[in-house]
Amino acid sequence: MKPVQLLSIEWKKFFPNSTFRVMAALYAGSFTLLLLLARLVGTNMNFTANGRSYNPTADFFIYPKNWAFLAWLGSWPNMALLGFLGVFMITLEFNHKTLRQSVIFGLGRRDVVLAKLGWVTALALAATAFYLVLGLGGAVLGGSGLGVPPLTCVSGFFLQALGYLLLGTLAGLLIRQTALATLSYLAYVMFLETVARWIFYFAVARTQLLGFLPEQVLSGLTPLPLPDAVGSLGGGSLLPLSVWQVSVAALLYAALFAGIFRNRILHSDL
């Protein structure tokens, strides 16, 4: 089946769904609200680091750091809402046995894999497009220097959106119950990996490899763009990873999540 037909099937399934629409609206709303709040708070706030005083407005809202800062702001709805959307879209199918039914209707298992992976990629692209629109709009409104968004910011944002969507989808596929899968996903990205990483770091080995755990990599794609003098606090890494390191690692994780998804759909009972 043609990719356009597969995407059309996913669109017909999810666009009329109220939860999907609410989550999409929440994503757009919360992302916009975060930007407005950051501007509102940022203009009135100064902070000191390493003996120097910084104005967040000056640092975060001037090109090209405005794009990195906006990507960092977007990392929160990416993590919470896109991840949940990934969980929801696959568990909805299992709850109503509609994935199985699609195969019964004649959709091949490979087409199921392509449809799902194509759909989450399309959603990640849509989220990235919204990031660009918000960035351009914010820059115009703020008058702080409209410019071409840095490729690393755009690609990092897209990879992060895709990574969270895939991670959520995988959690949904493996657990199959919406509430349990959502809780497991949120617990993992919010604290389980962090706690496990710190325990391992202090009790077992202080290895830089811990920076390559999935949540570390995904959050590291859009680090808070603090000035160099502040040091590496971005992404919450124990040790800093370069843009290229997190990008390659994120691509590998996306391929891994997609591979596990494909394997489960192709080879297990539906």
Binding site for other proteins (CB under 8 A): 1, 5, 8-9, 12-13, 16-18, 96-98, 100-109, 267-270
Rounded Cα gap, residues 251 and 160, in angstroms: 10
Residues in CB range of 38: below 8 A, 6 or more apart:
56, 60, 69, 73
Closer of 18 and 53 to other proteins (Cβ): 18
Closer of 9 and 251 to other proteins (Cβ): 9
Residues in CB range of 99: below 8 A, 6 or more apart:
90, 93, 112, 270
Closer of 50 and 267 to other proteins (Cβ): 267
Smallest gap from residue 56 Cβ to other proteins (A): 43
Closer of 58 and 270 to other proteins (Cβ): 270
Rounded Cα gap, residues 73 and 61, in angstroms: 12
Smallest gap from residue 238 Cβ to other proteins (A): 43
Smallest gap from residue 177 Cβ to other proteins (A): 17
Rounded Cα gap, residues 104 and 88, in angstroms: 22
Smallest gap from residue 16 Cβ to other proteins (A): 6
Closer of 6 and 162 to other proteins (Cβ): 6
Rounded Cα gap, residues 15 and 78, in angstroms: 19
| Amino acid type, 172 | G
Smallest gap from residue 5 Cβ to other proteins (A): 6
